[in-house]
Amino acid sequence: MWGMRTPTWIPVVALLALAGGCSSPEPVRAGPPVTQALEAYQLGSAPNVHIQGGVLLAGQPSSEDFGAAKALGIRTVVDLRTPGELTEFDEPARVGELGMTYTNLGFRSPDQLTDAIFDGVRAALADEAAQPVLIHCHSANRVGAVWLAHRVLDDGVELEAAVEEAHAVGLRSAPLEERAKAYIDAHR
């Protein structure tokens, strides 16, 4: 009967692994789980959270949710809300006090979604030193628009599949979707 006792073979296996000249293990990289496909994810009370490739995509996290993000190993927060949209707490200060990098690439409307914003998000996603990254806005609508461009231009995902992903992430605005498609067309 096993009960609560440790099976006798476990310490033997551990000793064998430590003995015999085993090389030291690769350092474990902190971060959210890495997924190949876009998947729903939980980050405290943040709405509409998804993960893909270790990148978290979300609606607005609470102050406490940023602590949970830090515990997951998130290094960089990209905020797509404009300064002043969030009044509940000082997000840049909260992210900074947790030791994460805060980047604001805020926009509210399709005409404010400039090439510089797309380029900034794509740069954050390409920067290995910035990884893992959390990208958020209020509801993930804006996140879906920038994610659409990233997936097509940087990950080589077909446009139709990337549009489906963007909708799953939270993209609801047809004008934002059209702006993302125009950016994609201009940068292919």
In the chain, what are the domain boundaries? 30-187
Q: Name the least confident of 16-25, 101-110, 162-171.
A: 16-25
Q: Band of the pLDDT at 5, cuts 50, 70, 90? A: very low
CATH fold of the domain at 30-187: Protein-Tyrosine Phosphatase; Chain A (3.90.190)
Averaged pLDDT of the chain: 87
Average pLDDT estimate for 160-177: 98
- Supply the pLDDT for residue 7: 43
Q: Hey, how many other C-beta atoms are within 10 angstroms of the C-beta on 51? A: 23
As to burial, measured by CB atoms within 10 angstroms (0-12 exposed, 13-18 middle, 19+ buried), residue 59 is buried
Task: Fill in the DSSP letter of residue 109.
Answer: S
**Sheet with 76-79: strands ordered across:** 39-40, 50-52, 55-58, 133-136, 76-79, 101-104
